[in-house]
Amino acid sequence: MAKNTRETLLDYTFAEIHKYGYFQASTSDILKKCKIPKGSMYHYFSSKHDLTLCVIRERVKPKTLKNYHIKVINGYFESLISFLESINFSKKAFYHGCAMHKLIVEMSHLDEAFKKELDVIFGEVHAHFRLILSESIKQGEIKKCDASEKGNYILTTLLGAISLKNEMALQTLIKELRVLKALKKQSKPAKQQTLF
């Protein structure tokens, strides 16, 4: 039962913070929804701040890494494009925006502990995008570019599009990325032979 209480607190706190943000998420509302007395919360977490740090590590991080994981099926670059085309703002994962991004915007400039945890998550997602682009370059799927810089651009643009539910920004990103696609090498036409 003890493990269930802690896990329940993490689940409900994640849902509240994802929906309302850190400051608007009410501890008393979370406890009411969990049907857990306040004293039980303090058995596991010293404060709302401590609880939220655990939520970032144990809920925000795995959910974010899952949401932004690109499964490579038909080439690295086409898998990236397919991933971006599959983003649906109305699905549960992004309905309230991106939980990681929401906390970065709200808390990174105010709390060093939050910033440190969120930077780790952002860094891992960025590394995944960078790897996809690096492999795309190695395979000759796209033109040479700075994979780290381009990965950061893709991720930050995507996070903005998700937060604003801006379909045009997402479509513009996809259109801009298609320009990176390497042209297929054309074989030289055979020289015409003359009989004379």
Q: Are 160 and 172 in contact (CB under 8 A)?
A: no
DSSP assignment of 112-167: HHHHHHHHHHHHHHHHHHHHHHHHHHHTTSB----HHHHHHHHHHHHHHHHHHT-H
52-178: CATH number: 1.10.357
Please give the pLDDT value at position 195. Answer: 45
Among 35-49, 62-76, 95-109, whose mean pLDDT is lowest?
35-49
Query: How far, rounded to the nearest angstrom, does the alpha carbon of residue 35 sit from its chain's CA centroid?
Result: 31
Domain ranges, ordered by start, for the chain: 52-178
- Percent of the chain topping pLDDT 90: 76
Indicate whether 3 pLDDT > 70. Answer: no
DSSP assignment of the chain: -HHHHHHHHHHHHHHHHHHH-TTT--HHHHHHHHT--HHHHHHH-SSHHHHHHHHIIIIIHHHHHHHT----SS-HHHHHHHHHHT--TTSTTTBTB-HHHHHHHHHTTT-HHHHHHHHHHHHHHHHHHHHHHHHHHHTTSB----HHHHHHHHHHHHHHHHHHT-HHHHHHHHHHHHTTBPPPPPPPPPPPP---
- Give the residue among 34, 27, 46, 42 at the shortest CA–CA distance from 8: 34
Residue 35 structure tokens: 């049907």
**What is the residue-averaged pLDDT of the chain?**
90
Please give the pLDDT value at position 78. Answer: 95
Indicate whether 187 pLDDT > 70. Answer: no
Q: How many CB atoms lie within 10 A of CB 22?
A: 20
Q: Are 133 and 147 in contact (CB under 8 A)?
A: yes
pTM score, two decimals?
0.87
- Amino acid at position 14, single letter: F
| 67 phi/psi in degrees, rounded to 5 | -65, -30
Confidence of residue 138 (pLDDT cuts 50, 70, 90): very high
- Give the residue among 102, 146, 97 at the shortest CA–CA distance from 122: 102
Indicate whether 190 pLDDT > 80. Answer: no
